[in-house]
Amino acid sequence: MQYDLIPAEKSFAEFRLLAETIPQLVWISWSDGSIEYVNQRWHKYVGAPPGSCYRENRLKYYHEDDRKEIQRCWQDAQQNGQAYETEGRIRSGKTGEYRWFLERAVPQFNTQGQIMRWFGTCTDIDEKKRAGEALRQSRDEFRSLVEALPQLVWIMSTSGREEYVNQRWFDYTHATANDIRGEGWLSLLHPDDQRGTQHLWREALRTRQPYEARYRLRNAQTETYEWFLGRAVPLFNDEGEVVKWFGTSTNINQEKQREEALRTSMDEFRLLAEMIPQLVWVDNPDGSGDFANQRWYEYFDMTEDQRDNWLSVYHPDDRPKIEALWNTSLLTTRPHEAEARLRNGKTGEYRWFLIRGVPLLNEYGRVIKWFGTCTDIHEKKRKEETMHISNQRFKKLFASDFIGIAISDLQGNCRDANEAFLRLVGYTREDLLAGKIHWRKLAANEKIYETDRASLQRLRAVGYAPPGERELVRKDGSRLWFFLGSVMLDRSEDTTITFALDIQQRKEFDQRKDDFIGIAGHELKTPLAGLKLLSQYIRRKLKKGALVDADKYLAQMGTEVDNLARLVNDFLDVSRIQAGRLIYRDELFDFDALVQEVVEGVQQTSPTHTISLQGTSGQQYRGDRYRIGEVLANLLGNAIKYSPLAQNVEVSIQKCPDNIAVSVRDFGVGIAKEEQTRIFERFYRVSARKNRGTTGLGMGLYISGEIIKHYNGEIRIESTEGEGATFTMVLPEQREEPSL
Ligand code: ADP
């Protein structure tokens, strides 16, 4: 730049005048840099009294840090003889603060072309400078931020001039800001992704809306493509025009791969889900449906939209349980399992299913999906139920008191038994636990045990042993008859179960019946023999014509016939009672008269004893007079028969509020306590030894007992063995029914 010479001093004065009017600090220095002139504004700003700056070095008013640079600029200009421009901070005399000034100076030359003076101005640029500083600082910060970001960052200006990419972008793509200009960046994308991304980018430019796209970006180093999520937002100026686009590309390759892997595994899962026999479902973390296999839809007969209504497929009774379970699972993200009934949408039938739900968690433990299956366990459940019922039944049976049950192994060790069995064989539970019950010991003898073993073999082969009667030896050595049957309970464990019924009484009864036939033969034979003898005797006498006391013999024959008739009647009565066909001919009769009659009748045929009668009832009784009389006669007959050494039998009638009782007391052999109920059994007789050889068929008390029972009465016994017995026949008083 070339400046003309400053004209004469006059012009200098004009210049000074001008210098006072402009808003800058104005100065003139000599060529050595010392101040020749400064305007008022200068004096005011630096806080120096007017005229005080003359010949001073101007640099002293500048900030220490800036002096060097200003000095350098000035010296350069001094050498080149050119105007210069520089910046520096000048201290305000008032505030002591430094403000930025733009210093501009032009040289004045003398006629020899040497610099005479410098004319300079200092323009206050502090505001501007500070704003620029702040801008630069924020730009720096922005840059460092952008560089620190894990993303690839790029800025694209609409002017096409201020493109910028961060280091990370460059490192990845090896493309510069220049390369990406316009749509240059598209070439860095995977060929398959270019068109789609271009379309999205153009749309963003057109609509001035934020842009987002997913594409594969080429890694310049590995020469592979990785997935990125590209995002850009427009920056508007005050006029509302887009000036720049700020963009980032975030590497989402891992997510993408994971997504891909998940999708593949989901595809595989779905395939698998269609193959398995269960109903399969997949739910989102919030419990909404995501997938269900074909079988699921078919069973519930539902469409996809109806899926959210899943609770309705459960049996109403199971719903609260399932809902609670599912809610807890959602809360705790723990798997769940339950058995519940699910409704078949087609038939409406409910079937039992095992429901299982398992969460798939991400690395932070958050649920990604819920996977579930419903397995049909209806048949199993039903079997279990039946099993349960039969178990219950078996337990009931086992606990029953009347049938003995023992569980044994094939070696004959009894491992378990119910109370009934233990009672029957006379062992205790402790004996059982100590392994003391063995079928060898229970068998009456070795031969029987061997037979039992043979039947055990059979048990093993066919699963059961035919039931049969067995006499077993109890712990105390006594023997009892049992009806035994065994089945194999568990073949794998060789366990058998044996049922034992006590048939001792039946056995004894059979024996009694056998005995009875023998005795009955005798009993019948005796009167028959008597009749035969008498008839032969009478015939012989008739032949000789010497039958003098025919009456007597005929009477004897009559007695024998009566005996026979009584026996035969008893037989018939027993069989009628058995068949429930004993006929009663009820009538109203005088009770006391009947007793009297019977006592007298028996007394006539029993001269050995004296029968006394006491008391009256004063009652009319409705019943079969003959049968009730028969009972009394039987009791009297027994009293006499079983007290051969005594002379007296006492009969008494008592009238109680509710009944009439007749007691027959004898002073004979008496009856042991344990026999007292048994003597009412059919054909039961106390052993002949105790009965001192008396004969009988054991029918009398049986028939008597049945007759009295017919009238709702009973026969009581009081007796001490050897001291006689009192039989009391008790008949409940009858409520008089109104006669028709
Ligand atoms: P039977 O006398 O024909 O044997 P019962 O049925 O009349 O048949 O009697 C049954 C058993 O009861 C008798 O065998 C006898 O042992 C016993 N018995 C009955 N009455 C008496 C009694 N008064 N004193 C002792 N024992 C009696």
Residues 468-490 have pLDDT tens digits of: 888 899 999 999 999 988 888 77
Ligand 1 pocket check for 698: Cβ under 6 Å: yes
State which H helix or E strand residue 85 sits in. strand 84-91
Q: Ligand 1 centroid to 707 CA: how many Å?
A: 17
Ligand 1 pocket check for 669: Cβ under 6 Å: yes
Number of continuous H segments (helices) and E segments (strands) in the chain: 19, 27
Which atom of ligand 1 approaches the CA of 698 most closely?
Answer: 8
Q: Ligand 1 centroid to 653 CA: how many Å?
A: 22
Token pair for 509? 């009864």
Torsion angle of the four alpha carbons 463, 468, 471, 474, in this order, in degrees rounded to the nearest 10: 40
pLDDT of residue 4: 45
Ligand 1 pocket check for 642: Cβ under 6 Å: yes
Tokens 């009192």 -> residue: 726
SS3 content of the chain, % helix, strand, coil (to 5): 45, 30, 30
Which atom of ligand 1 approaches the CA of 634 most closely?
Answer: 7
Q: Ligand 1 centroid to 367 CA: how many Å?
A: 91
User: Residue with the nearest Cα to atom 13 of ligand 1?
Assistant: 685
- Count of beta carbons in the 10 Å neighbourhood of residue 712: 11
Residue type, 689: R
Pocket test for ligand 1, best of 602, 635, 638 (most atoms within 8 A of CB): 638
Burial 82-102 (b: 16+ CB within 10 A, else e): ebbebbbbbbbeeeeebbbbb
Q: Ligand 1 centroid to 701 CA: how many Å?
A: 7
Q: Are 649 and 640 in contact (CB under 8 A)?
A: yes
Pocket test for ligand 1, best of 602, 650, 669, 701 (most atoms within 8 A of CB): 701
Q: Are 126 and 100 in contact (CB under 8 A)?
A: yes
pLDDT of 153 above 70: yes
The sign one gets for the Cα dihedral 479, 485, 487, 489 is: negative
737 or 367, which is more confident? 367
Average pLDDT score over residue span 626-650: 95
Pocket test for ligand 1, best of 609, 635, 673, 679 (most atoms within 8 A of CB): 679
Enter the pTM of the model. Answer: 0.49
Which atom of ligand 1 approaches the CA of 669 most closely?
Answer: 25
pLDDT of residue 91: 93
pLDDT digits over 196-218, tens only? 999 999 999 999 999 999 999 99
CA dist., res. 376 & res. 78, Å (int): 104
Ligand 1 pocket check for 725: Cβ under 6 Å: yes
State which H helix or E strand residue 636 sits in. helix 625-641
73 three-class SS: helix
Token pair for 707? 């007759």
Q: Ligand 1 centroid to 698 CA: how many Å?
A: 7
Predicted confidence band at 688 (pLDDT cuts at 50, 70, 90)?
low
Q: Ligand 1 centroid to 559 CA: how many Å?
A: 22
pLDDT digits over 542-562, tens only? 898 887 888 888 898 998 898
Q: Ligand 1 centroid to 679 CA: how many Å?
A: 7
User: Residue with the nearest Cα to atom 18 of ligand 1?
Assistant: 638
Pocket test for ligand 1, best of 577, 602, 631, 642 (most atoms within 8 A of CB): 642
pLDDT of 581 above 50: yes
